[in-house]
Amino acid sequence: MTTPRPFGRALCAMITPFTDAGALDLDGAQRLADRLVTEGCDGLVLSGTTGEAPTTTNAEKAALVTAVREAVGERASVVAGVGTFDTRHTVELALAAEKAGADGLLVVSPYYSRPPQDALEAHFRAVADASGLPIVLYDIPARTGTRIEPDTMIRLAEHPRIVAVKDCSYDFLGTQKVLGRTELAYYAGCDEHNLALYAVGAAGYVSTVANVVPARIRAVIDVFEAGDTPVSARLQQQATPLIEAMMSAGLPGAVTAKALLNALGLPAGPVRAPFRPADRETADGLLAVYEQLMSA
């Protein structure tokens, strides 16, 4: 069976650049988006976890989609994060993203309220019914408090516009169950799973680390696709120290990605509260791990 790839294989969970004063930096977003696509990203996922979506306004989210669409044209897909804990608000954001030029919608489980599975299913169906765009379900229970259970995924896959999953469930068995019973395109949402999930039939990844090293992250699956599993495994292993430093060292990916991008002179700017920027020691440590990877 051919794996569906509705948004490509190599997607970046793009940070949202801000100016030094904390305003949305649309020029920086366009420059960063162009770099990411030029260096191998098939798609950009905006206003997700790494994009600090809870701290941006409705208008900022729409403006970001418009600006990035203008920067990348048809070279890459643009997926807009629209998920909130309010179904009505999520539908409003979905319609605004569609109008702004998005190709798809990333819809996270409603957080904080922790709806049961039947209510969760109804929420996703309502969003899918409201817009003409394809939907990526975002399963990240560590942040939302609610898992999209495999059986719920299987039922939701029957909806013609629910086409993909960003998988941060850390349930490899459950993921394989859904892969085997649906045509949902799975995207690894945790960089340490990029190769493993791809090897069992996923479409690709939505990577935070790709903000910094898009070509290195893409090379892992390109080499695997070319049939050289040992080399792809070695490339994944080489990237592991940076993945760990950025994603598992106690700071959110938005903080570590922006620290590195700023150190490299690339568009990023500050994070918005309640996040706080990485301190100098942490930023220097991240840069050292990055340089080690780039010299490998």
* Residues forming the active site: 138, 166
Angstrom distance (rounded) from CA 171 to CA 147: 10
What is the Rg, in whole angstroms, of the alpha carbon atoms belonging to the chain?
18
Question: Whose CA is closest to 211, among 167, 251, 257, 252?
Answer: 257
Q: Which two tokens stand for residue 287?
A: 């840069």
Residue 164 has phi, psi (to 5 degrees) of -150, 170
- CA 108, 111, 113, 119: dihedral to nearest 10 degrees? 10
- 180 Cβ contact list (under 8 Å, min separation 6): none
* C-beta pairs of 289-295 under 8 Å, 24+ apart in sequence: 289/241, 289/242, 289/245, 290/212, 290/213, 290/242, 290/260, 290/264, 292/241, 293/213, 293/216, 293/238, 293/239, 293/241, 293/242, 294/213, 294/216
